[in-house]
Structure 1
Amino acid sequence: MEFIKKVIRKIKDGMLQEMYEETKWMYTYAKKYKFQIVFYIFLGVLTTVMGLASSVGSKYLIDAVTGQDSGNIALIALFIVAMGLFSIGINAITTMISARINIKVNNEIQAEVFDKILVADWISMKEFHSGDLLNRLNGDVNTVASSILSWIPSLITRSAQFFGILAIILYYDPTMAVIALGSAPVMLIVSKTLMKKMRDYNKRMRQVSSDVMSFNEESFQNIQSIKAFDLVGLFSKRLRDVQQNYKDVFLDYNKFSVYTSSFMSVVGMFVAYACFGWGVYRLWTGHITFGTMTLFVQLSGQLSSSFKSIVSLVPSAISATTSAGRIMEFFKIKDESELEDDKAKLIQNNTQGKGLSVVLDDVEFSYNENKTVFQHADIVANPGEIVALVGPSGEGKTTMIRLLLGLINTKSGNASIRDINGVSCKISSATRRFFAYVPQGNTIFSGTIAENMRMVKQDATDAEIVEALKAACAYDFVNRLPDGINSKVGERGSGFSEGQAQRLSIARALIRKSPILLLDEATSALDVFTERQVLRNIMNMGYARTCIVTTHRPSVLTMCDKVYKIDSGVVCDIDEKEVNMLIRDF
């Protein structure tokens, strides 16, 4: 009992506790396919039994051929062939079952991780590089999915093989069994040290792999800037630095693997030689037949190999649990807040094109304790109004947009939307349904123009798409394309100018017909005439809309009903005189 308690204490301590938690998480997926996994294990054990039966059959076949046994040679040979054919057939079935379960588990985990990333707290997710996210979503998920099916069935199947071989050898020669197990104590003694080192190496390998993917992904995203600033040589050198780091960690891990593998191979070699020598001695003294000697040679090697296979499951278990731990980090992140969802649904039913107001009352926000982005912020934007947010770069205009979208939450004060009946709802991810958003930069996806438009309204007709394109002053250049709205768009709007991509983004936002439209420097790539025309079209589309824009351009301000300035943590509305001063000083 004291020994058992000691083992339990060790399991609960440090690394083993982490592996236990990670294994338990993996089990939640494995149990969904328990019947298929049990059948898979049954077939694996059956294959093992057939292999052992074939080995025993070869013993009697040799004895029959050498005249030391009166067995039927043809019947024994037929039995061996039948066992071999059955094994081939069962292996084919298990391979298909394995592939089916593996892809199901892989897709399920990948989908859940993807969904979790989408709903996770925005600020928390900013800690992960997009390349690292891709590596975890693909590499780590694939490792876990493969291990869910392979690890436990392999453990059971190889254990069955090990104990089956051991039982046969014990039956014919107990001393041979003891010799064949000679490597077991050595492997058990060094296993604890090896496990810790393997886990450390696995973590390092996962991290450097993420670093390489992150570098490549970010480089390809910014390849235009790399070329424009003549940074090809710099980034080429940086890639080699990243590769060198990966190479150092990989070779270090490889050296560790070679040393441990060589050590185990030497131990196994001495055990095999000892078994062979003992078998030769028993044959020489007449205690065993040639068939038994052949059986011993086969099984002693298989016994050592099966035990080594069981031990080799440790690295795969460490690799799987390490990957599981990296995936579990996502599920520890809290979801973004969804406040007063019932009120949001009530407002959605009552709005029906009547418009919504945005109200910020004494709002404060800071990303950290060292710097407050803004405080005591009071903003009101009503249906039919264009409200501008102005101020120096980096002072909080985009942060205000994130706050309105529910990506971040106020530290204090109240940020809400309000319908014409006075029903108010706190801003969170639940109110995002009322907003259409056009961010800075190029946000067009690969596909067709129509597919991009229908992202925000899947049942949009071609006529609705054309209407939105016209309102965004984008229809003229789209109509000149060979395939019109069905023309292909490259990644990040490749094939279109910044101004064209910006107008397509505005059209996509308009087609949603949301009561609140957020434009974050969304007309910066347009000429003044087009910019003013787009804003007029937006406000004259036949339904109440609240439009909030962030801008540095004075041409927009003359069209705005209200202008709020964000500067040095202070948000205040400015009058016409101050607006004119901003325009004059621009």
Structure 2
Amino acid sequence: MESIKIIIRKIKDGSIKEMWDEFKWMMSYAKNYKKEIIFYIFLGMFSTVMTLISSIASKELIDVVTGHKISKAPLMAVIMISMSLFSLFFGSIMSRITIKINIRIQNDIQADIFDKIIGVNWLDLSKYPSGDILNRFGSDVSTVANSAIGWVPDIIVSIFNFIATLCVVMYYDPTMMVLTLINAPIMLISSKLMMSKMRKYNMKVKEMNSEVMDFQTETFSNMDSIKSFDLTDLFSRRLRDFQDKYKEVNLEYNLFSIKTNIILSLIGMVIQNLFFVWAVYRLWTGNITYGEMTLFMTQSGRMSSAFSSLVSIIPSTVNSTISAKRLMELISLPREDRAEDDCEGLKDSVSHGFSVKLKDVDFSYVKEKQVIKSSSFEANRNEIVALVGPSGQGKTTLIRMFLGLLSPNSGEAVLCDKNGEEVTLNASTRKYFSYVPQGNTIFSGTIAQNLRMVKEDATDEEIIEALEIACAYEFVKELPDGINTKVGARGRGFSEGQAQRISIARAILRDAPILLLDEATSALDIFTEKKVLNNIIKQKPNKTCIVTTHRPSVLNLCQRVYKVEKTKLSQLSETEFEEFASNF
């Protein structure tokens, strides 16, 4: 009755349908690997048959030892030795083949889900902590991959194993078969009772793992700040707090598992003892031989194991559907707008440059707080246009809008070519921008590899030219390996100014019509800063350069300056500009 109540409750709250949808999504990956699934089914069935043959041979051998059927001794010995050798070599070969298939399948599914996640709208994806995304992409993808390919073979092989073993037992003693079948409904009912709680505990454990991973990711990526503010003790305490929560959740789950295992084990022990008592009685009455008794005990264990495998598919399916749900949550987020057809007409205008325009734009991350309101902006080719204003007023938001990461709630954000044709800024127009963000954006690898990320076929000469324009080659050429010098993650081994110049060189090498510099020269001295900006304008004609800055030295090079303050974007007049610069 309790089991029926659980099922009815799940139907009412929709969780059964939810699990079914998650399961169907997970199984959709299995369609691409039909041959591998058939191979696993064959492998499992073949292994079952070999085990049964070995068990029967063992039974015959015991009968030989106890004085029955002496004539079969040589044959049984040959079968036992052959089966042992065959199992040794067959198992090794199959292990190698299986691991190759598993790795390929997991990589394929992981790559597919990665492509889907990375194509999600930036604003929606940014709501998830990076540690949580990493945990889903690692642990949950692995769970889904294993279940998608292993679920069908597992259930078919377990059923085959159960039926084949049942047939062997029935051949020797039908009563023993009845005792075996008693185990089935008891195990099934027990597993149904466990399913609801197991899903809840699995979800809690996965969520806790995500929190811990997010804390670790954030900590190690901000180690310099933690040390600079002498926060090592604080973060050590935070780690221990997370560890306590992690321990509490896992111990709670472990206690639940122990309780259920004890119950299932006690049930199994009762059934196993019934087998033993019956087998002893049959042996005592002379109805079976010692070999047959051993066979019964072995096969009763195998049948319990086979049925347990069938039953265990339920909790493993619950676990995998939770992983599927967490992944579906990410990949079902809105996709980036890629209006490729709208951008076709822009290709011929790349060499002539573009204008970037905002027309009466409104934007807010949340409805209650307006970031940009009724604002307009324009930057044309051969211009350096500045965005200035207090921190947190919306300069970086505007940069994201230029890059198509954000779309205005109202108004227009467009790219305009030489003929006045306009295209709405989106993910596809991003290829016409080179971007140098705030902070250190250098990746591990060589300097050349960092630059070739934006132009894979770039020659060494092109890389050196970009470094020269960014005033970076003067220190790069002094390095032992020049442009092939290795760089640590986040530019480790270089000063902030050097890392910044390498980032600028990378943007220059991309050679896009529009260059966005978000506080990108803040770590440079005034002389180097002016030289870099002048080099870009002189050596890379028809560029549109948009900079966010707090430095008056940059403003003096700009054709126009826009101020962002109190949700409003406004162009400064010459008088306002002079007053603004003098107040820096």
Q: Which bin holds the TM-score, normalised by the shorter protein?
A: over 0.9
Deviation of 1:187 (Å): 1.7
- Give the Cα–Cα distance (whole angstroms) in 1 for the partners of residues 182 and 535 of structure 2: 85
Matched, 1:336 2:340: no
Contact 2:37 / 2:150 at 8 angstroms: preserved in 1?
no
Report the 3-state secondary structure (helix = DSSP H, G, I; strand = E; otherwise coil) of the residue aligned with 2:351: coil
Contact 2:555 2:561 in 1 (8 A): yes
1:144 paired residue number: 144
TM-score between both structures, scaled by the size of structure 2: 0.95
Aligned to 1:346: 345
Partner of 1:511: 509
Contact 1:47 1:90 in 2 (8 A): no
Deviates more, 1:329-338 or 1:75-84: 75-84
1:543 paired with 2:541, answer yes
Deviation of residue 81 (structure 1)? 3.0
Give, in whole Å, the separation in 1 of the partners of 2:196 and 2:491: 48
Q: Any residues of structure 2 matched to 1:155-166 within 5 Å, and which?
A: 155-166=155-166
For residue 353 of structure 1, give the secondary structure of its aligned residue in structure 2: helix
Structure 1 alignment gaps of length 5 or more: 1-5
**Over residues 205-250 of structure 1, what are the superposed CA-to-partner deviations in whole Å (9 max), with x where a residue is unaligned?**
1111111111111100011111111111110010011111111111
For 1:569 and 1:10, how far apart are their aligned partners in 2?
48
- How many angstroms does 1:497 deviate by? 1.1
Relative distance call for 1:272 and 1:343 in structure 2 (3 A) is closer
Within 1, Cα distance between the matches of 2:129 and 2:249?
20
- 160 and 13 in structure 1: CA distance in 2 versus 1, 3 angstrom threshold: farther
Query: Could you tell me which amino acid in structure 2 is paired with residue 580 of structure 1?
Result: E
Q: How does 1:173-252 map to 2 (within 5 A)?
A: 173-252=173-252
Cα displacement (A) at 1:542: 4.1
1:25 corresponds to which residue?
25
Quick one: structure 1 residues 18 and 204, their matched pair in 2 at CA, closer, same or farther if it must change by over 3 Å? same
Residue 262 of structure 1: aligned partner: 262
Residue type at the aligned position of 1:531: E
The residue correspondences of 1:3-402 to structure 2 (distance < 5 A) are 14-69=14-69, 71-339=71-339, 341-348=340-347, 350-402=348-400
- What is the rounded CA distance, in whole Å, between the counterparts of 1:28 and 1:91 in structure 2? 30
Per-residue CA distance 1:343-389 (angstroms, 9 max, x = gap):
312211x1242111111111111111111111221111111111111
The one-letter amino acid paired with 1:343 is D
Work out the CA distance in 2 between the residues paired with 1:53 and 1:439. 68
Helix, strand or coil: the match of 2:197? Answer: helix
| Partner of residue 461 from structure 2, selected from 456, 460, 463 | 463
Contact preservation (8 Å) 2:121, 2:405: yes
Letter in 1 for 2:315: P
The answer as to 2:579 corresponding to 1:584 is no
Describe the superposition over 1:259-307 as per-residue Cα deviations: whole angstroms up to 9, x where unpaired. 1111111111111111111111111112222222121121122222222
Q: Please report the TM-score for the alignment, with normalisation by the length of structure 1.
A: 0.95
Q: Which residue of 2 aligns with 1:403?
A: 401
Q: Which moved more, 1:27-36 or 1:143-152?
A: 143-152
Whether contact under 8 Å (1:101, 1:149) holds in the other structure is no
Shift of 1:12: 9.1
Q: Structure 2: which amino acid aligns with 1:22? A: E
1:464/1:345 CA distance change after superposition, 3 Å: same
Deviation at 1:314, TM superposition (A): 2.3
| CA distance in structure 2 between the aligned counterparts of 1:110 and 1:135, rounded to whole angstroms | 13
Offset at 1:519? Answer: 0.7
Q: Residues 35 and 11 (structure 1 numbering): CA distance in 2 closer, same or farther, change over 3 Å? A: farther
Whether the 8 Å CA contact 2:382–2:537 is kept in 1: the answer is yes
How many residues are aligned here? 580
Task: Tell me which amino acid in the other structure corresponds to 2:139.
Answer: G
In 1: Cα distance, 2:89 partner to 2:22 partner: 35
Q: Displacement, 1:159?
A: 1.7
Matches of 1:154 and 1:542, distance apart in 2: 62
Distance 2:10 2:252 in 1: 28
In 2, distance between residues paired with 1:352 and 1:585? 38
Change (3 A) 1:542 1:250: closer
Q: Which runs of 5+ in 2 are unaligned?
A: 1-5
The CA deviation at 1:89 is: 3.8
Does the 8 A contact of 2:190 with 2:264 survive in 1? no
Mean Cα deviation higher: 319-328 or 382-391: 319-328
Question: Which amino acid is the alignment partner of residue 319 of structure 2?
Answer: S
Alignment of 1:417-432 (within 5 A): 417-432=415-430
CA deviations 1:65-120 (Å, max 9, x no partner) are 33333642111222233334334444334323321221112111211222222221
Instruction: Tell me the residue number matched to 2:3.
Output: none
| 1:3 corresponds to | none
Contact conserved, 1:41 with 1:153, CA < 8 A, in 2? yes
C-alpha contact (below 8 Å) 1:195/1:315 kept by paired residues = yes
Structure 2 CA distance for aligned equivalents of residues 254 and 514 of structure 1: 56
For the residue of structure 1 that corresponds to 2:515, the secondary structure is strand
Per-residue CA deviations over 1:21-62 (Å, capped at 9, x if unaligned) read: 222122222121111211221121011012112222222333
Contact 1:414 1:426 in 2 (8 A): yes
Residue identity in the other structure for 2:127: E
| Contact in 2 for aligned 1:343/1:424 (Cα 8 Å) | no
Amino acid at match of 2:202: N
Inter-partner Cα distance in structure 1 for 2:415 and 2:565 = 24
Q: Please report how far the alpha carbon of residue 393 of structure 1 lies from its aligned counterpart in structure 2 after TM superposition.
A: 1.1
Alpha-carbon deviation of 1:172? 2.0
Instruction: Indicate the SS of the match to 2:357.
Output: strand
Moved more, 145-154 or 516-525: 145-154
1:567 pairs, out of 562, 565, 568, with 565
State the SS of the aligned residue for 2:522: coil
Shift of 1:568: 1.0
Distance 1:10 1:219 in 2: 40
Q: 1:195 to 1:224 in 2, by over 3 A?
A: same
Instruction: State whether residues 275 and 300 of structure 2, in contact with CA within 8 Å, keep that contact through their aligned partners in structure 1.
Output: yes
Kindly provide the amino acid, as one letter, of the partner of residue 564 in structure 2.
I
Alpha-carbon contact 2:131-2:210 (below 8 Å) kept: yes
State the SS of the aligned residue for 1:559: coil
Measured after TM superposition, the shift of residue 13 of structure 1 is: 6.3
The 8 Å contact of residues 181 and 304 in structure 1, kept in 2 or not, is answered as no
Distance 1:38 1:219 in 2: 46
Quick one: distance in 1 between partners of 2:91 and 2:322?
Answer: 29
Q: Secondary structure at the match of 1:116?
A: helix
Give yes or no for contact 1:29–1:105 (8 Å, CA) kept in 2. no
CA separation in 2, counterparts of 1:64 and 1:495? 76
In structure 1, how many angstroms separate the alpha carbons of the residues matched to 2:326 and 2:98? 24
More displaced 10-residue stretch of structure 1: 175-184 or 540-549: 175-184
Counterparts in 2 of 1:101 and 1:362: CA distance versus 1, 3 Å = same
Contact 1:40/1:94 (CA < 8 Å) preserved in 2?
no
Matched residue type, 2:234: L
Per-residue deviation, 1:392: 1.4
Determine helix, strand or coil for the equivalent of 1:540: helix
Worse overlay, 12-21 or 414-423 = 12-21
Contact 2:448 2:463 in 1 (8 A): yes
Measure, in 2, the Cα distance between the counterparts of 1:104 and 1:325. Answer: 23
Match of 1:502 in 2: 500
> How far did residue 63 of structure 1 move?
2.6
Distance 1:284 1:519 in 2: 91
Query: SS of the counterpart of 1:511?
Result: helix
